[in-house]
Structures are given as structure tokens and as C-alpha cells.
């Protein structure tokens, strides 16, 4: 077996293609191995449009970047036949080692996509020795092709939430299929208003889904989301996720604490102590802080007690029991708040719960939750932080799909 036989096996070439030469250019840095491939001039080739076998009309030189040969950059150059089809005219045939329009081989692109899943695009581009723009074009192609094939005809429950896409209140709204596992993102769109729900309805129909089949939609207390879901999916039961209820009261407690801390001195660590639960993983010092909280921060202590009652509601085993506990909670909280202006943030949270009482209780009637989506949001933001932000919202959406969309077959999307 000679050197050309080894390269032919490595490239998986077969007739009418053959290697006719190779040269290692050591004058360039890094060194470049250039492999030259030729096609049989007397052979017939399929028309790329209809597949009809035609004779070669002429040949055109093309070059592709291939996987490195040891530490050397590797390039494939071939005289690619152009056939003259009686039905479609002169067309360049498809080569077996690269997709149409790409300057890289399929194996190179597959290696690049594996790296992009594990590290920021800029870092991956630097390692493989191409520009980040070139790598982004590869990523866009494979993600878009994979998302074209997604089938949403089976979707019955959806989760909706927004995630920050940049500074100055830029957001992307993400939709997940609640019956899927980790790779559950089925749509992402810029913004966080009612138009995002309208866009999802159109997308769902385009992918074989039926809006009337959506039985449950889980979201936060956003007026835009709820209004949009009521209009676009009238048959769906809208459920306010419990995570957002807890988050709302945690924010209210923290706001009360911050305002009170300007008037009275609070021990270091109070902030994190009040954001944890009484039955959570508290340090001995945090337990002491909570035990003494009322002695140095009465308003914060009241807000914290109200927030802690949410655990009692969450322990209800039935929707009827949850509804009764929620009513008791609201009455108890309003007695504590009374007309105390320092507790206005908690009052605001209570009013939000009142307005969405039925949607909150609805979570006891099904097993759907946005917990998975909240976890995915952490992955999206971690990726954005590692990349130090993305140039535009579309690149962020592409990464969201790459991280969490059901496109495990992505490398087959050539």
C-alpha cells in the first residue's frame, strides 16, 4: 500500500475519483498539505437537479479545507465536472466529500460542530484556524437545516419564558415542548410581547402542529404572554408556574430588605439568609440571623414570614386544598401588611397572586412545570457569558437551538 492508497482510504474515495498528487508546502506557516483529486473524463455524472446521467461538459478547479493531517493544515483541490443536462443545462455536479457552496469538507464541518457544542464559536474558530464568520456560516447552515425537519404535530403542552439576549432590556422568548426531555426547545423568537405568541402559532402550524391540540400552556404572570395565549390558544389551560410565584416574593422580600437596610444596620449575610427557606440548607450563622431577624429588621422579618408561607401552600396535595390554603395565605398576609408603606413590594406581589389565583391553582391539576425551561435558561446565559455576548439576537437564537432543540441528528443535515 503506497501513500496515495492511504489517503484514498482516509478520504473514502471511489471511482470515478482518484488522487493524482499531493504536496506538503513547508514554506507556509502552518505547513499545508495539498491533495489533488481528478475525476475520470470519460465517465458519466448525475445531473444535480434531476439525477440523469450525463457526460462532462467541462471541469472547474475547486478547493476545500479538510481536517488537519497531523499538525499540518490540509486542503483538497479537484477538477469538478460540469455536466450538460438536456433538461437543466450546464450544472456543477455534487462532490461526495463536501456540501454544495461550502469551502470545507463534510468531515471538517462535523469536527467544527462538535467543538462549537462544547466551547464558544470564537474559541473554536481560533483552534481550527478559520475566521469566526466562516464558522458561524457553518453553524447557521446545520442548525437551520435541522430545524426545517422538526415535526410539531404531537405537541400538546407548551412552556413559555423569556431569557435575556443582551443589554438594554433585549429578550428572546423561548417555547418548549413540555412532554420532551432535556432537548425540548421548539421555537425561539426576539422580544417578549404578545407578538411572540402570534409568531409561535404560525410556526406551529407550519411544522405540522395544530393550535387546537395545545391543552396546557405554562408561563409566568406576564400580561403579554397570558393575553397572547388566551387569544391564540383559546382551548389551552393557562398555568402560572409556581417557580415564578416564589421568585416574585423573593424579589419583594429583597426589595423590603434593601430599603430597610438604609435606615437600620443589618448584620452581614442577612440578604442571603432571608432569600433561603427556614427548612433549607442554612449555615449555623444564617440560622442565628433568621432567629434574630425581628429584633433588628421588623419589616424584613414580616416580609420573610409571608414568603415562607408559600411552602405551606405548595405542600397541598389537591387543587381544592391549594385553593383553600392560598385564600388563608392572602388573608394572613394582608393582616400583617395592613397599611405599612414599607411592605408595598409584598403588597404588589399579593395583588399579582390574587389576579392569577385560578391559574396558580391550576398547576395542581397537571404535572406540567417550567422547571426544565428555567434550568435551560441557566445554560443559555452561561453560553452567552462564555462567549462574552453575541453580535446579534439571531446568533443567540441559533445557540439556543444548538444547546436545547431536538436536533441530535444535526450533522446529517447536509
For residue 351, pLDDT over 80 is answered with yes
Mean pLDDT to the nearest integer, 209-231? 95
pLDDT at res. 74: 92
Burial of residue 317 (number of CB atoms within 10 Å: 0-12, 13-18, 19+):
exposed
Nearest to 380 by CA among 162, 158, 90, 215: 162
How far is residue 43's CA from residue 41's CA, in Å, rounded to a whole number? Answer: 6
pLDDT at res. 374: 82
Positive or negative, the CA dihedral 400, 402, 408, 409 is positive
Ordered DSSP codes for 208-234:
T--GGG--EEEE-S-HHHHHHHHHH-T
Mean pLDDT to the nearest integer, 17-22? 86
For residue 168, pLDDT over 80 is answered with no
Helices 132-148 and 121-128 sit at what angle, rounded to 10 degrees? Answer: 120
pLDDT at res. 158: 95
How far is residue 349's CA from residue 326's CA, in Å, rounded to a whole number? Answer: 13
- The domain limits of the chain are 3-145, 157-241+368-407, 243-365
Q: Residue 242 gets which letter from DSSP?
A: H
Q: 170 vs 6, 8, 153, 193, 226, CA distance in Å?
A: 53, 51, 31, 12, 20
Q: Which residue carries 417555547 as its cell?
A: 175
pLDDT at res. 271: 83
How far is residue 246's CA from residue 252's CA, in Å, rounded to a whole number? Answer: 10
Give the Cβ contact number of residue 224 at 10 Å. Answer: 17
Q: How confident is residue 4, by pLDDT bands cut at 50, 70 and 90?
A: low
What would the pLDDT profile of 148-165 be if each residue is shown by its tens digit?
A: 989 999 999 999 999 998
- Contact (Cβ atoms closer than 8 angstroms) between residue 274 and residue 300: yes
- pTM score of the predicted model: 0.85
pLDDT at res. 282: 74
For residue 412, pLDDT over 60 is answered with no
Mean confidence (pLDDT) of the chain: 89
Distance in angstroms between the alpha carbons of the first and the last residue of the chain:
32
Class of domain 157-241+368-407: alpha beta
pLDDT at res. 378: 86
Q: Which residue carries 409571608 as its cell?
A: 306
What would the pLDDT profile of 79-90 be if each residue is shown by its tens digit?
A: 999 999 999 999
Q: Provide φ and ψ at 57, rounded to 5°.
A: -85, -45
What would the pLDDT profile of 239-253 be if each residue is shown by its tens digit?
A: 999 999 999 999 999
Degrees, nearest 5: CA angle 276-277-280: 90
What would the pLDDT profile of 268-317 be if each residue is shown by its tens digit?
A: 888 888 887 766 677 888 888 777 877 778 888 899 899 999 999 999 99
Amino acid at each position: 500500500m503506497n501513500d496515495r492508497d492511504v489517503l484514498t482510504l482516509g478520504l473514502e474515495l471511489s471511482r470515478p475519483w482518484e488522487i493524482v498528487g499531493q504536496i506538503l508546502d513547508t514554506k507556509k506557516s502552518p505547513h499545508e498539505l495539498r491533495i489533488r483529486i481528478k475525476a475520470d473524463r470519460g465517465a458519466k455524472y448525475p445531473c444535480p437537479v434531476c439525477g440523469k446521467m450525463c457526460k462532462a461538459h467541462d471541469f472547474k478547479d475547486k478547493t476545500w479545507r479538510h481536517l488537519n493531517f497531523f499538525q499540518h493544515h490540509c486542503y483538497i483541490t479537484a477538477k469538478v465536472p460540469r455536466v450538460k443536462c438536456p433538461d437543466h443545462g450546464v450544472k456543477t455536479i455534487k462532490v461526495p466529500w463536501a456540501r454544495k457552496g461550502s469551502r470545507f469538507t463534510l468531515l471538517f464541518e462535523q469536527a467544527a460542530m462538535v467543538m462549537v457544542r462544547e466551547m464558544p464559536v470564537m474559541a473554536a474558530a481560533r483552534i481550527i484556524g478559520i475566521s469566526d464568520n466562516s464558522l458561524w456560516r457553518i453553524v447557521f447552515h446545520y442548525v437551520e437545516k435541522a430545524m426545517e425537519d422538526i415535526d410539531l404535530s404531537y405537541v400538546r403542552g407548551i412552556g413559555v419564558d423569556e431569557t435575556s439576549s443582551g443589554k438594554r432590556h433585549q429578550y428572546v422568548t423561548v417555547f418548549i415542548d413540555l412532554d420532551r426531555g432535556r432537548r425540548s426547545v421548539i421555537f425561539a423568537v426576539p422580544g417578549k410581547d404578545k407578538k411572540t405568541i402570534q409568531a409561535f402559532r404560525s410556526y406551529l402550524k407550519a411544522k405540522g402542529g395544530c393550535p387546537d391540540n395545545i391543552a396546557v400552556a405554562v408561563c409566568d404572570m406576564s400580561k403579554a404572554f397570558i393575553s397572547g395565549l388566551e387569544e391564540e390558544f383559546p382551548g389551552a389551560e393557562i398555568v402560572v408556574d409556581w417557580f415564578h410565584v416564589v421568585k416574585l416574593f423573593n424579589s419583594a422580600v429583597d426589595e423590603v430588605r434593601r430599603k430597610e437596610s438604609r435606615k437600620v444596620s443589618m448584620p452581614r449575610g442577612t440578604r442571603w439568609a432571608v432569600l433561603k427557606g427556614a427548612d433549607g440548607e442554612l449555615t449555623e450563622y444564617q440560622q442565628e440571623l433568621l432567629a434574630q431577624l425581628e429584633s433588628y429588621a421588623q419589616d424584613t422579618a414580616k416580609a420573610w414570614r409571608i414568603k415562607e408561607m408559600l411552602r405551606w401552600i405548595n405542600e397541598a396535595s389537591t387543587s381544592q386544598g391549594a385553593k383553600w390554603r392560598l385564600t388563608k395565605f392572602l388573608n394572613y398576609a394582608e393582616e400583617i401588611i395592613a397599611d405599612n408603606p414599607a411592605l408595598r413590594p409584598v403588597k404588589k406581589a399579593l395583588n399579582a397572586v390574587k389576579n392569577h389565583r385560578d391559574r396558580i391553582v391550576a398547576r395542581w391539576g397537571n404535572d406540567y412545570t417550567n422547571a426544565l425551561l428555567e434550568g435551560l435558561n441557566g445554560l443559555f446565559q452561561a453560553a452567552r457569558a462564555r462567549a462574552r455576548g453575541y453580535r446579534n439576537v439571531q446568533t443567540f437564537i441559533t445557540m439556543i437551538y444548538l444547546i436545547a432543540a431536538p436536533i441530535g441528528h444535526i450533522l446529517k443535515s447536509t
